[in-house]
Structure 1
Amino acid sequence: MNQISFFFVTFMRVLLLAGLGAMTMLVGCATSPYAEVWHKKPRLTGPSGPEPLATAEQSLTRAIHDERTKPLIAMGECLDGLQSASDELKRNPRDATANRDYNFGVSRIFQIIHDTNLDPWTQPLIVPTTNGEFVLTFKPDPRPEWNPALYDFTPADEFDVGGKYVTERITRDGIGAPIVAVEREESKNARGKAAPSRIYRTVSAVAKFQGRRCMLEFYDPLDSETARFYGRTVPLAADFTVPLAVMLQETDPGKHEVWRVLNPEKYAYTARIERLQPYNPNKTVVLVIHGLKDSQATWTPMINKLRGDPLIRKHYQFWFYSYPSGYP
């Protein structure tokens, strides 16, 4: 082998090793977690309230303890405690302890429904208690996509979140329980509706009592800054980050980033436009597009931050375009 050939072969080997090393780094980056979600046991924080809130808090604590073994009894304890907190909040909407207990109680309704498969969505749920029956139901919405039977609901206070793209938790104080709503089944016509194959939504739930009847009402906190609460307009509580984090962890868009560069034809089917919230014709669509060896996940920190701004929420909605970035 002459000297020129030797150097050529050596040079090609160096290039090959460098390429393999770079590819390993790319794959390693692609598999690092963009979002991490941990379940936690929710609990009331802060000092106990005065009566009747102290008794209400005890009922809510018992409900958490009993939910797995005696779900209907647990739901009754939850509704007893929630009604007491609701009555106090009606009397004094600025009572921070009553607000805390109320939001915690609404969240526990959804915790019990989620953990025990109780179903107040297909028909009103009769809940026996020592003080008489409660009826648990919901306020219907004419929009088909707001049918609660289509979703699994998990209270946002059951999650801690983190990860590369989830470094800040954006919330809003107010009345109501921030909820993560995940569509039970994948949509058969998601692409035609510019929707994800499975919807992950941020929802805020408010409970109102009419005697022994408890009605749950759902709000989209990206569209509503306030809620109606017994004749008053009050700030609506929200958690804008947890649904994004859950969606990122469940869908894991980073898993195909490298391969969509190397073999774009194979992943051509992944090219699509998707919206992150129900379409609102009164808001301007902001379409975000990622770059080479990337995915829609790259926009998560920006979208998470911007959703915390009420003016942005009022005027804009975010969609993304994702595609195999290996195409020239």
Structure 2
Amino acid sequence: MGLTIGVDIGGTKIAAGVVDEEGAILNTFTVPTPATAEAIVDAIASAVEGAREGHQIEAVGIGAAGYVDDKRATVLFAPNIDWRHEPLKDKVEQRVGLPVVVENDANAAAWGEYRFGAGKGHDDVICITLGTGLGGGIIIGNKLRRGRFGVAAEFGHIRVVPDGLLCGCGSQGCWEQYASGRALVRYARQRAAATPENAVLLLSLGDGTTEGIQGKHVSEAARQGDPVAVDSFRELARWAGAGLADLASLFDPSAFIVGGGVSDEGELVLDPIRKSFRRWLIGGAWRPHAQVLAAQLGGKAGLVGAADLARQG
């Protein structure tokens, strides 16, 4: 199969891109993300039509947040869009006249990294995305593993602390409450309030108040050596690495790929994640263990992965 289109549904924009068999993006087209669920379907079609101009397209892959059924056709539930059992595949196919595959956005990003990014050369890869929350994808034996009902790899909602912090999903103690962008900001605010003398730069970036501290401030302050900001990254990394050790016991991959906005800080967060992973890996002194790698494709991973999954059929 030749060229396909990948679609990434973001909170503010919907991006469609023409992708070739080597994972190169040949053309892109973006439209604003509308406020209503039905308008989003029309916006997806508009983005696809804009991207496909001048290209012979074989199929379309859509990366959608939330639960996607095992037939890769229906969005069972989307957290930020009013989609409940939304027949997205059928609706978009009717509008664009091309075969459509719908995939969970974290799965699409994981597949993109596996095929064209940090996962190249590995048969068994687990991807996690450290963004506002925590998502992931499972590739074992060179295949994306979705589970029987299509909703596997919701790693962020593994309970790591019984009766722990309340999660947006309604449960308590979910992993993403301790290893995510939201968690990083919480750590920074708590530590800045407790020891403001160690957070002079961080507080200044947040307009002098703990409530003003945002993720970008923690990153900037950590890069400049602010003690509280650096310690906040280490705390996030401690939880992230311990979780990877648990996933290693389940899947025994050859590599973990860490993506998402938090991972943009590179070794500032990856080095302590690796240390925590080795610290908590059962039998780590006697067994081979996975590499912990930085994602390479950044924000393009989901679009590229969705396009390639459409090519796979």
- Settle same-fold status: TM greater than 0.5: no
Greater RCO structure (CA 8 Å; 6+ sep): 2
Q: Which has the larger radius of gyration?
A: 1
What is the TM-score when the length of structure 1 is the normalising length?
Answer: 0.28
